[in-house]
Copies of this chain bind each other. A is one copy, B any other.
Amino acid sequence: MITIKEIAKELGMSTTTVSNVIHKKTGEVSPATVEKVEEALKEYNYIPNMSARNLAQNESKIIGVAMRAREDKYDNALNDPFSGALIGGIEKSLRYTGYYMMIYISDDVSELAKHISLWNADGLILLGILGEEWKEIKKHYAKPTVFIDSYFDNSLKQLVNVGLQDRKGAYDMTKYLISCGHRRIAFMADNCIGVDEERFNGFVQALQEAGIAFDREKDFLFHIPAREERQKSYARICDRCREYTAVFCASDYYAVNLMNELENRGIRVPEQLSIVGFDDNYYASAHRPALTTVHQDPEYKGELAVQQLIRMIQGEELEENRILLPTEVIIRDTVKVINR
């Protein structure tokens, strides 16, 4: 691996000149020299040493992508269409910017914080992080940061976030269910914070506007995804389903799993029970019956996050620090129209 110094010696010039040519600061260098240096660079196949460059410039050209992943839910965090598409979108946008992506995934926020500061990343994209958790990270990291799909209280309104109109999406879908004649509708999720909370809020709002009662204790089907609990949890939920005409699942992933569990128990969708999801990933469209769901574009989310981050790194002003992408109700085959 040849170094600048060696090339300089070979050519009988100083490292500064070589460095200047490399960085195209050619205003400072005579054309003849430029050419000579460039030839040598080619010939010896010069590759810069990033560590040295980073050390000297105190920047790293690394973008950290840190993902908080619940271990009970994911043992393989990328093996999920949403994360896959999202990280893929980030990677794709980063590819030609001269920045390199380093991924950290952990259940443990302080673990994430450690990794982030180790590499002195020039920017950070944070997935699945709550406001409280951010405070832990902030202690160690002060450079440009973009959140994806985070919700904060007002004290953190200045943070940059790329998210989704979760509430509106759920609201629209719920109105659709109601318009199909459904009035006994359950909500299924494995938590009620952040994104899922917003979806739940939209759901409840639509019910309220339609004058439909919702009993949070009874009608919120709380799923437990941990491996040992999973089957029992589905069994319980499938049992409870008989009391409803429709179930709004907070994600396609659960909608499809639930449908399969229902099928195993001989409960037909949508004839006996309507199901809707959220996300519109390929689970939704590949499943039969195809899932009626709320569409979003995670890849685009990733791309936008990168755009915002790069702007921040370059010191540009952001037009908006809180982007909420629109959603769309996709009607497929899992909702039955009920005659009243």
Identify the A interface with B (CB < 8 A).
Answer: 1, 45, 47-52, 54-55, 60, 75-81, 83-85, 87-89, 91-92, 95, 100-106, 114-115, 117-120, 139-140, 256, 260, 282-283, 286-289, 299
A296 CB, min distance to chain B CBs, angstroms: 14
A178 CB, min distance to chain B CBs, angstroms: 28
Query: Do A89 and B76 touch (CB < 8 A)?
Result: yes
Docked Cα-Cα span, A88 to B105, in Å, equals 10
A194 CB, min distance to chain B CBs, angstroms: 22
Interface centre among A84, A102, A299 (most CB of B within 10 A): A84
Residues of chain B within 8 A of A118, CB atoms compared: 47-48, 50
Known: A51-B54, A76-B89. 15 other contacts (CB 8 A): A48-B118, A49-B55, A49-B120, A50-B118, A50-B120, A51-B55, A51-B60, A51-B120, A78-B87, A79-B84, A79-B85, A79-B299, A92-B105, A103-B103, A287-B288
Residues of chain B within 8 A of A50, CB atoms compared: 51, 118-120
18 contacts across the A-B interface (CB closer than 8 A): A45-B139, A49-B55, A49-B120, A50-B120, A51-B55, A76-B85, A76-B88, A79-B85, A80-B84, A91-B105, A100-B104, A101-B102, A103-B103, A256-B286, A260-B286, A282-B283, A287-B288, A288-B289
A285 CB, min distance to chain B CBs, angstroms: 8
Query: Do B100 and A119 touch (CB < 8 A)?
Result: yes
Query: Do B105 and A102 touch (CB < 8 A)?
Result: no
Interface centre among A79, A104, A256, A289 (most CB of B within 10 A): A79
Docked Cα-Cα span, A106 to B101, in Å, equals 14
Docked Cα-Cα span, A308 to B83, in Å, equals 27
Docked Cα-Cα span, A88 to B74, in Å, equals 10
A43 CB, min distance to chain B CBs, angstroms: 14
Residues of chain B within 8 A of A91, CB atoms compared: 77-78, 103, 105
Query: Do A299 and B88 touch (CB < 8 A)?
Result: no
Docked Cα-Cα span, A91 to B83, in Å, equals 13
Docked Cα-Cα span, A77 to B90, in Å, equals 11
Query: Do A100 and B100 touch (CB < 8 A)?
Result: no
Residues of chain B within 8 A of A89, CB atoms compared: 76
A330 CB, min distance to chain B CBs, angstroms: 15
